Amino acid sequence: MASIRILGTGGTIASRSAGTGGLVAEDRTDDLIRTLSRRHTVTVRDIMVSGSYLLQLSDLRTIAQAARNAVLDSTVDGVVITHGTDTMEETAFLLDLVHGSPKPVVFTGSRRPADAAAPDGPQNLEEAVEAAASPELRGTGVLVSFAGKIRSARGLFLASTVAADPFAGGTEVAHFIGDSLHVTARPLRPSPMRMPSEEFDQARVSIIDCALGTDTGLFTYAVHAGADAVVLAGTGLGNAGPGFVEAVQDAVRGGCFVVLSSRVPFGPVVPTYGAGGGVDLVRAGAIPSGDLKPSQARILAALLTSQPATPEQIHRVLTAAPGRQGGQSG
């Protein structure tokens, strides 16, 4: 039997129908744990009760600090965080960047609300608690447990708006067969970064879509409005249209970091094309995001620029992409 701390933040798992007003997060964590099998000892704390689409960077810092406090508690073996799916990929990734404890931190949530005829939250929470309690998952960082699958936070993204198993990307670390947890891989863990400071709350990082025919107007506006960094959601391997090379060069000269990502769901940024493509964007000062997609590249850029970091440090962190360590079953 393990001792698990459950931190509640809201999301669909804590939501109920408000009639024509739509779903509203209102359940406290004490309500969520009523269906648990109690195979493990659980303690709970509500951090907030909110839809994750409403969260700000300051809220992510609050969640990160609560998780840090929980793992520092010698009586706690693992942590579960209930969270909305809309922005789970951002919050989980921030925590993964700063998580230095071997204790598992596991995010979960639901696609159906608490008052649905067949809510999926109770089963997801049961499995997340089991994952957080598993000795085999110690040292694997921050994970997301959903619909019987457990994935690493890094590289994770919401791939479906309605599917019961909505996430893709990352490394599948484990899965459930019935009630049995089977560990299949261990992500390589980079050194933890410093916890976000109050400056993180005010970090201004914009994502600019480089879709076909897009001009540089929004990019230039973001830079002139005081962005600390801009993430380009490039096409393909990491490309952008006419005018972006010059715009990136001007932004970097003015002190704004530019990160080159890709709108493609899978695969790393690999600057390959000239004539204004990824090769020229990097020469102009853009930093390739490696395997990070725009949403997670934005969180990393916000953390780095708020510390602050040099272009060389940002490049080093972005290119130090952890992979997976051995496939082991358990």
CA–CA distance, 311 with 253 (Å, rounded to integer): 12
Rounded to whole angstroms, what are the CA distances from 254 to 206, 207, 223, 243, 297?
A: 16, 18, 9, 17, 21
Which residue reads 């007003």 in tokens? 21
Please indicate whether residue 171 is annotated as part of the active site: no
Determine which one of 9, 29, 82, 85 is catalytic. 85
The Cβ of residue 186 has, within 10 Å, a number of other Cβ atoms equal to 21
Q: How do strand 23-25 and strand 41-50 relate by DSSP bridges?
A: unpaired
The Cβ of residue 158 has, within 10 Å, a number of other Cβ atoms equal to 16
Please indicate whether residue 85 is annotated as part of the active site: yes
Determine which one of 12, 82, 171, 235 is catalytic. 12
User: Which long-range CB contacts under 8 A does 158-166 form with residues at least 24 apart?
Assistant: 158/85, 158/86, 158/88, 158/89, 159/265, 162/111, 163/111, 164/111, 164/120, 166/85, 166/111
Residues serving a catalytic function are: 12, 85
